[in-house]
Amino acid sequence: MSPRVSVWIANAVFASFIVVSLFYSLVHFENQNLKTETASLNEERNRSFAIVQELSRVKNQFPMAYQCHYSFGLSNGSLHEITERIPYSIYKRLRLGDTIEVYKKEIKIFGKQTAISRIKGNEEPLPLLENLERYFLYGFIYLLVLVGVTLAFRVLGLLSQTYPLPQKPNENDEIVVNKSQD
């Protein structure tokens, strides 16, 4: 392996680190924005009505969890559908086709117009971008370690110790040949 290949590896690690850092910062700031919008969601001016379209129990979940799928209209006239986790106390009151009171807010996530909402009285946390943020955080940490190792090899000269250059014998050096006896 020539030392030139390690330069390409180091450059690839640095480029990957920069790309993952940009993605992580983008997702982190969008998630922070989404958290602030969610905090101000339960205001009276955001109150609206929605129609229940589906009620279900989440399988293989302990303790039991329930979901409500409902739709409501946006300001541009289109319908927006949302699935939300709900506690059993709300689940047992709802029926398909019921009109329910929700708090809704139209926002932009990654430049796309969308809406967030919550059923009145529901205290379950809303699904934010936390899993995506965590995914990029782990990638960021992994590549940070790789950048540290790469810098140790490049800056401290450990690469030359790991891959020493072959030494050519001088003309004055004796060549010792071991001959084994038959």
Instruction: Output the pLDDT for position 6.
Output: 66
Instruction: Output the pLDDT for position 159.
Output: 53
Is pLDDT of 156 > 90? no
3-class DSSP assignment, residue 83:
strand
Residues near 48 by beta carbon (within 8 Å), at least 6 away in sequence: 72, 101, 102, 103, 104, 117
Each domain of the chain, given as residue ranges in start order, spans: 42-127
User: Residues 29-68: pLDDT tens digits?
Assistant: 988 988 888 888 888 888 889 999 998 888 877 778 889 9
CA distance 15 to 24: 14
Burial 42-80 (b: 16+ CB within 10 A, else e): eeeebeeebebeebeeeeeeeeebbebebebeeeeeeeb
What is the CA angle 59-60-64, rounded to 5? 75
The arrangement of secondary structure in 42-127, i.e. its CATH architecture, is: Beta Barrel (2.40)
Is pLDDT of 138 > 90? yes
pLDDT band at 2 (very low <50, low <70, confident <90, very high): very low
